[in-house]
Amino acid sequence: MTLRRLLGGLVAVLVLGAFTAAVASAVRSSIDGEDTPPVLAGPTGPAVGALPVAPRVAAPPILAAPVPAARRVRPKKPPVVRVPAPVRPSRALGRPNRGRLADGVLFPAEGSDVTTWDAVLQATPNRDWRRVGTDRLVRTILTVAADYRRAHPGAPRVVVSDLSLPQGGRFGPEYGGLGHASHQNGLDVDIAYPRRDRREIGIGRVGEINRPLAQALVDAFVAAGAEFVFVGPRTGLRGPSNVQALENHDGHMHVRLPNVR
């Protein structure tokens, strides 16, 4: 009986100690303010009491710096050709390389002895706004062409290229091709050399030139009173002192009349 009493007393002491410790812990927690409510998960969203998570936003795309558009050089608008109804004498004003044209005359696109060639477009006929000159220049070209064809019945027609703009003035590269340093007052004209194959188009290389016919045409313009006839240095064409070799003229002769007032 004595042993049984001792064991029962020991169990009672242990139960009492555990109860006392639990009560003390609860009291201490209440005093320290550590009684944090439990975190409860909602049915769908994040846990109640959890820190909100910022939504993920895609970074903005990296835009390349705008590339400036390439500068475009706009060709000049072709001048309007206005040939005066009452025929008045044309006036070549200023100099061939710094001048103007008043009362110019439109050279015909083609005729029985002439045709025209657009060296920029490589086409025939030449555009009208590129073939305006003084009345004297137009008459001189037509007269020389007719005489030349009578003297050379089998020759192709004379191929006429640029004269001047309708009112003269600068005729530079803004109008296509290399442009012209002169051709400003209606007294200059480019004439393609006659071709060996008789085609009525421009010359691409000196080997295509019919030299006897080309020389005859140079001589005809000199006889008609040309102030200058510029020819290419590789053409082999000759003449008096006013026939002069000039670069960039291996494909055509450049005829200039004197400014007679």
Q: Does the pLDDT of residue 138 top 60, yes or no?
A: yes
Q: Is residue 161 part of a domain?
A: yes
pTM of this prediction? 0.69
Q: Is 89 within the bounds of a domain?
A: no
pLDDT, residue 11, reads 47
| Phi/psi at 251 (5° precision) | -105, -10
Q: Indicate whether 182 belongs to any domain.
A: yes
Question: Helices in 152-233 by DSSP H: which ranges?
Answer: 211-223
Tens-digit pLDDT profile for residues 164-178: 999 999 999 999 999
CB 185 within 8 A of CB 171: no
CA distances from 105 to 134, 196, 244 (A): 6, 31, 27
Q: Would you say residue 250 lies in a domain?
A: yes
Closest among 134, 130, 131, 132 to 94, alpha carbons compared: 134
156, part of any domain = yes
Residue 13 lies in a domain: no
Lowest mean pLDDT across 57-61, 114-118, 170-174, 197-201: 57-61
175, 75 in Cβ contact below 8 A? yes
pLDDT over 90 (residue 150): yes
* Cα–Cα separations (whole angstroms), residue 232 to 44, 45, 59, 69, 223: 93, 92, 68, 41, 20
Under 8 Å between Cβ of 111 and 139: no
* Integer Cα distance of 159 and 149 in angstroms: 12
Give the pLDDT of residue 9.
Answer: 52
Better pLDDT: 254 or 31: 254
Residue 242 is given by DSSP the state: T
End-to-end CA distance of the chain: 163
| pLDDT score for 76 | 67
In which domain, by residue range, is 160 found?
101-256
Exposure letters 77-106 (e unless 16+ CB within 10 A, then b): eebebeeeeeeeebbbbeebeebbbbbbbb
Residue 132 lies in a domain: yes
- Cα separation values, 202 from 3, 42, 162, 180, 183, Å: 141, 91, 12, 17, 19
Asked whether 249 and 229 are in contact (CB, 8 A), the reply is no
Give how many domains the chain has, as a whole number: 1
Residues 103, 230, 77, 122, Cα dihedral to 10°: 120
Give the integer Cα–Cα distance in Å for 196 and 20.
132
CATH code, 238? 3.30.1380.10
Which pLDDT score is estimated for 88?
81
Q: Is residue 180 part of a domain?
A: yes
| Amino acid present at 126 | N
For residue 96, is the peptide bond before it cis, meaning its omega torsion is within 30 degrees of 0? no
